[in-house]
């Protein structure tokens, strides 16, 4: 058995009917409704068209803005990563050694791909450091402790 | 036969398809969106309160673009998608007691701007706002009852709305034809579209 609806629920139901009526109405009926209200149907339709066009422009502008912000974040992150990497291959290898000594993640990253630390090329070292930097597994700058116990 | 295993996400239109659908809308579709917006709007004469038709269809389009409302072209017509989305937005804003304008248009300094894309931009209505909302809805229903006093088919529809009855049940209970029901419903929804809360009327 149905219960009595609250005024809010009745308005909801009424609005459902509004949508159904609008969807069922033909062009002539819609134009007549606008005229009844003293509005020019062509001007009304044109106004809606222009607003939808403006919404499309607004969406693209927001998306461009979001992509720009995202790109700036990536560039900044890459910049930080490269600044964090030492300048010479020897220093970079030393940094990787410290990372391996301090972090299990770093140690696994190295041993999964390379059997021996000493087999790593300079490019391998740089690439690994970049990936470890992304994972946050590099020791902080100025920390020269190799973590060995 | 439709593939029921496909998800809505698989069928959802992308930006280009949505843009093409907007460009393909005819003048009568624009009128339909305006008419639906008029019926669903809640704007008083004072611009600081409520929302208008344009807020609703612009928000519906924006939500479709950004994926908060997915449109599946194979399942539903674009105009129906937009009008249903507008109804859902109106319902959401009413439930949240949202009273400020949400148009994408720039606002004056005395009207704080809102970001329709910001999911945190939602208010929980206070007890006072809920009460006000309740009163406005009650006033709208009371006014319609008043206006259509003596118009038996519309009175039956209003009673049916209150009792949660559908069209078939109302038609059967009132002993009217479907045509009579539809005509009465048209009168009722037109009047409902004219009604603006808080004594306004823009």
- How far apart are alpha carbons B65 and A56 in whole angstroms? 8
In the predicted model, what is the mean pLDDT of residues B33-46? Answer: 75
- For residue A114, what pLDDT is reported? 61
From chain A, the residues in CB contact with B30 under 8 A are 44-46, 48-49, 52
On whether the CB atoms of residues B157 and B164 are closer than 8 A, the answer is no
B47: left (phi > 0), else alpha (psi -120 to 50), else beta?
alpha
Identity of the residue in B19, B22, B164 whose CB atom sits nearest the CB atom of A2: B164
- Reduced to 3 states (helix: H, G, I; strand: E, B; else coil), residue B105 is coil
pLDDT above 70 covers a percentage of chain A that reads 84
The nearest alpha carbon in chain B to A59 belongs to: B62
- pTM, entire model: 0.67
Residue holding tokens 């600044």? A83
- Residue B66 pLDDT greater than 90, yes or no: yes
Decide which of A117 and B101 is more confident: A117
Helical segments of chain A, H only = 7-24, 27-36, 41-84, 89-102, 104-113, 122-135
What pLDDT shows up at residue A144?
63
Instruction: Kindly report the average pLDDT of chain A as a whole number.
Output: 82
Residue of B nearest to A6 (CA): B162
Q: Give yes or no for residue A25 having a pLDDT over 90.
A: yes
The band of B159, judged by pLDDT with boundaries at 50, 70 and 90, is very high
HSE (side-chain half, CA atoms, 13 Å) at A2: 12
* Subunit contact A4:B162, Cβ cutoff 8 A: yes
Q: What pLDDT does residue A120 have?
A: 81
A8·B133 Cβ contact <8 A: yes
Q: Which of A13-17, A117-121, B173-177, B178-182 is predicted with the least confidence, judged by mean pLDDT? A: A117-121
Contacts of residue A45, Cβ cutoff 8 Å, sequence gap at least 6: B27, B28, B30, B31, B34
CB contact A51 to B (< 8 Å)? yes
Q: Do A52 and B189 touch (CB under 8 A)?
A: no
Q: Report the C-alpha gap between B100 and A141 in whole angstroms.
A: 50
pLDDT given for residue B76 in this prediction: 94
Whether B114 has a pLDDT exceeding 60, the answer reads no
Residue among A129, A134, A133, A135 at smallest CA distance from A95: A129
Contact predicate A31/B91, CB 8 Å: no
Please say whether the dihedral angle defined by the alpha carbons of residues A98, A101, A107 and A110, taken in this order, is positive or negative: positive
Supply the DSSP string of B9-28, one letter for each residue.
Answer: HHH---HHHHHHHHHT--HH
Task: Name chain B contacts of A52, Cβ cutoff 8 Å.
Answer: 22, 25, 30, 57-58, 61
Choose the closest CB to A56 out of B22, B144, B189: B22
Residue B113 has pLDDT above 80, yes or no: no
Confidence of residue A68 (pLDDT cuts 50, 70, 90): confident
């Amino acid at each position: 058995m149905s219960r009595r609806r609250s005024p809010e629920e009745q308005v909801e139901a009424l609005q459902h009917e509004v949508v159904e009526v609008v969807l069922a109405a033909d062009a002539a009926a819609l134009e007549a409704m606008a005229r009844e209200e003293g509005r020019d149907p062509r001007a009304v339709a044109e106004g809606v068209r222009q607003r939808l066009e403006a919404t499309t422009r607004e969406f693209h502008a927001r998306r461009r803005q979001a992509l720009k912000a995202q790109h700036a974040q990536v560039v900044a992150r890459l910049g930080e990563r490269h600044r964090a990497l030492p300048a010479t291959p020897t220093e970079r290898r030393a940094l990787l050694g410290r990372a391996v000594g301090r972090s299990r993640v770093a140690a696994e990253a190295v041993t999964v791909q390379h059997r021996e630390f000493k087999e790593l090329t300079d490019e391998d070292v740089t690439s690994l450091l970049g990936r470890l930097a992304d994972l946050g597994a590099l020791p902080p700058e100025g920390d020269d402790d190799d973590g060995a116990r | 036969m439709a593939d029921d295993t496909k998800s809505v996400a698989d069928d959802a239109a992308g930006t280009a398809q949505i843009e093409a659908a907007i460009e393909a809308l005819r003048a009568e579709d624009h009128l339909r969106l305006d008419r639906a917006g008029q019926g669903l709007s809640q704007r008083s004469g004072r611009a600081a309160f409520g929302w208008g038709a344009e807020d609703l269809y612009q928000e519906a389009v924006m939500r479709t673009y950004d994926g908060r409302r997915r449109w599946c072209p194979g399942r539903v017509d674009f105009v129906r998608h937009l009008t249903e989305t507008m109804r859902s937005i109106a319902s959401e804003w009413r439930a949240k007691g949202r009273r400020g304008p949400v148009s994408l248009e720039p606002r004056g300094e005395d009207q704080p701007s809102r970001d329709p894309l910001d999911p945190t931009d939602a208010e929980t209505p206070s007890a006072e706002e809920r009460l006000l909302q309740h009163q406005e809805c009650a006033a709208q229903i009371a006014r319609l009852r008043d206006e259509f006093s003596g118009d038996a088919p519309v009175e039956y529809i209003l009673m049916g709305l209150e009792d949660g009855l559908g069209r078939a049940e109302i038609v059967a209970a009132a002993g009217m034809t479907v045509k009579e029901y539809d005509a009465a419903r048209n009168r009722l929804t037109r009047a409902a579209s004219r009604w603006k809360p808080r004594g306004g009327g823009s």
